[in-house]
Chains A and B, each alone.
Chain A
């Protein structure tokens, strides 16, 4: 059984009965190895569809949790259970509960490092005061607004208020949380939160794959929220210097916000500034200054001097990219997709209204990015299989379009690997309107192919 990764959280979903007889068959050694290699900020086992479990049945997953924590330092645990199951797990692992328990996946998302929807009003209660505080701190660090109930009575009273909170956290227990660097997205900037002492460990806890993927999909501004950093040593200094050098290749900017130099040598600041890192006192000094954001590349890539253009190798594989896209759209819609025109130029989109887009990057033996642009209604049609119901929820449509383009990316990877061309795919990125797409792709030359299925038109663009 393999975990499904969504929003940075890998989730296993066993079904039925979980006991000592079958625990090992749900999870093989290869499955555990594959899970360790996943690019996830949190690994969970959902008990939503488990009707019965005993300790022996859970033990195989708990052993996996231990291994993942040792190797990846990320939060692990169970989710999606009722009160009875929550109490049963507590009883099974009374003094040995070093993994987390999240009442639901949406609660777990609040505690995940790269969860993109911050600023949630979260009501929380746990009878254990230290748990209550730990949760509040984690939520606050994640950019949420935790509201603590001090007693069960207080909690019940607050909980009964309709629509007062975005999420209510109960029947939840924080085991060892991850000490990896939390990342969140604000507009087109990525904010990493670092704290306490920064030393050689930063190389282990910083998710470099996530960072590289972010560069590949077009993020150009990276902010280190360092308000809670006490000091930094030379190993961390070297790490950030190297990070700045690699960012320079993409014309990306790295900033530190809130870092004080009371216990960190001031010469470190000079070294980092020489490497291109900028320092600000307050987060609003950057985020509230649109002109500066523009200059730093967060609102527009007009300043990005990316001269890399599509090359012959990429173009020679064009049929594979189109095949992958056509096959995916056909698979998702049960209709025939037809290629209409193909031309090499910068992306041209007639009539920007009501259109959304999604992109996925690939890198390895060849580098590039595939962009799909759809009228919103056509995107809904293409995502119908994944959504399963009629919806006008733009966030849901965009999320699903991200899944669709992820399938396209997976197919591209397979088709290229048949030709012995190895590539990795980045996380998909979605664009709620054409302007936000053009911010990253306007000046890039590429191959534009107009495609149609059932007479509905959409656009495929391949660039570097």
Chain B
């Protein structure tokens, strides 16, 4: 159904990160917001994405924000970097979603929601680190990878899942000894994203906890956050709720704290 050759071909076809993006991220890494905005301004698709995403209700801005310099100024270095990474991930998304009932706008909504809530979690955990803040951006890449690998095999997947409750991550691992998050890591390496980003996202799969307690704890929060968002009606309708398996035991020790933070009752 899915072979290692197919995975390798998928990874090979991923283009390098565009130069304008690389330069924008480099300036953001150095804390040079103005220079980063000047470069970002030249990439019209990036500009449009930034404008679109920060004006979503979850960002809570009263007035429309339209200039890149304004956007970076309001977001600050860490969140600006996170948003640019989010844009990079969307470059991988398909023109038309086949496996999941997603639209471009719904996928952007998921990115925005995950990013804002992740920031809220990091503030709660008293973590101020732009790499860790950006880690959340790689998580939705797992959805894109699942779409890319399984969309042509939807009928087979449906048939398989009609007799056995397997999630896509498990199917892929059993077939190729490689899971969706391993492929996300390969993408992050190709795009020269900081190594810590992939480590946290690997732990957030709930499939292979990290040996590093700090990273593992962040993985738990991210895993629970993912399922908190995937339990929203729009993402259940998109059939995202069960694309990977929720590891309830993995997050049991942080659940109460999460519920309090997200005001769940």
A: residues with CB less than 8 A from B are 1-2, 4, 6, 11, 13-18, 21-22, 24-26, 48-52, 327, 330-332, 334, 384-386, 388, 403, 406-407, 410-411, 414
Please report the C-alpha to C-alpha distance between residue A330 and residue B255 in the assembled complex, in whole angstroms: 41
Going nearest first, the 9 A-B pairs with the smallest beta carbon separation are A16-B231, A17-B231, A16-B227, A25-B233, A15-B246, A25-B236, A403-B163, A331-B1, A49-B246
B: residues with CB less than 8 A from A are 1-3, 153, 155-156, 159-166, 170-171, 174-176, 224, 227-228, 230-233, 236-237, 241-242, 245-246, 248, 251, 255, 259, 264
Closest chain A CB from B157 CB (angstroms)? 9
Main secondary structure of the interface of A (DSSP, over half): mixed
Q: Are B246 and A4 in contact, CB atoms less than 8 angstroms apart? A: no
19 contacts across the A-B interface (CB closer than 8 A): A15-B242, A15-B246, A21-B232, A22-B233, A24-B233, A26-B241, A50-B248, A51-B227, A51-B251, A334-B3, A385-B160, A386-B163, A386-B164, A386-B166, A388-B170, A403-B163, A403-B164, A406-B163, A411-B159
Please report the C-alpha to C-alpha distance between residue A18 and residue B233 in the assembled complex, in whole angstroms: 10
Nearest A-chain residue to B264, judged by Cβ: A52
Q: Are A14 and B165 in contact, CB atoms less than 8 angstroms apart? A: no
Please report the C-alpha to C-alpha distance between residue A18 and residue B224 in the assembled complex, in whole angstroms: 14
Partner of A334, one of B1, B232, B251: B1
Q: Are A22 and B159 in contact, CB atoms less than 8 angstroms apart? A: no
Q: Are B174 and A384 in contact, CB atoms less than 8 angstroms apart? A: yes
Closest chain A CB from B171 CB (angstroms)? 7
Partner of B159, one of A4, A24, A50, A407: A407
Please report the C-alpha to C-alpha distance between residue A18 and residue B156 in the assembled complex, in whole angstroms: 29
Main secondary structure of the interface of B (DSSP, over half): helix
Q: Are A407 and B165 in contact, CB atoms less than 8 angstroms apart? A: no
Please report the C-alpha to C-alpha distance between residue A202 and residue B94 in the assembled complex, in whole angstroms: 55
Q: Are B174 and A15 in contact, CB atoms less than 8 angstroms apart? A: no
Partner of B233, one of A21, A52, A327, A334: A21
Nearest B-chain residue to A54, judged by Cβ: B265
Please report the C-alpha to C-alpha distance between residue A50 and residue B247 in the assembled complex, in whole angstroms: 10
Contact flag A331-B230 (CB < 8 Å), given A16-B246, A22-B236, A385-B174: no
Q: Are B156 and A17 in contact, CB atoms less than 8 angstroms apart? A: no
Q: Are B230 and A15 in contact, CB atoms less than 8 angstroms apart? A: yes
Please report the C-alpha to C-alpha distance between residue A406 and residue B163 in the assembled complex, in whole angstroms: 7
Q: Are B232 and A22 in contact, CB atoms less than 8 angstroms apart? A: yes
Partner of A52, one of B232, B237, B259: B259
Q: Are B156 and A331 in contact, CB atoms less than 8 angstroms apart? A: yes
Please report the C-alpha to C-alpha distance between residue A407 and residue B156 in the assembled complex, in whole angstroms: 9
Closest chain A CB from B259 CB (angstroms)? 7
Residues of A within 8 A of B255 (CB): 51-52
Please report the C-alpha to C-alpha distance between residue A405 and residue B2 in the assembled complex, in whole angstroms: 20
Please report the C-alpha to C-alpha distance between residue A21 and residue B160 in the assembled complex, in whole angstroms: 30
Partner of B163, one of A1, A407, A414: A407
Q: Are B231 and A410 in contact, CB atoms less than 8 angstroms apart? A: no
Q: Are A15 and B231 in contact, CB atoms less than 8 angstroms apart? A: yes
Q: A2-B162, A52-B264 are in contact. List 12 more A-B contacts (CB 8 A).
A: A4-B162, A4-B163, A4-B164, A13-B165, A15-B241, A16-B230, A16-B241, A17-B227, A384-B174, A406-B163, A407-B159, A414-B159
Closest chain A CB from B9 CB (angstroms)? 15
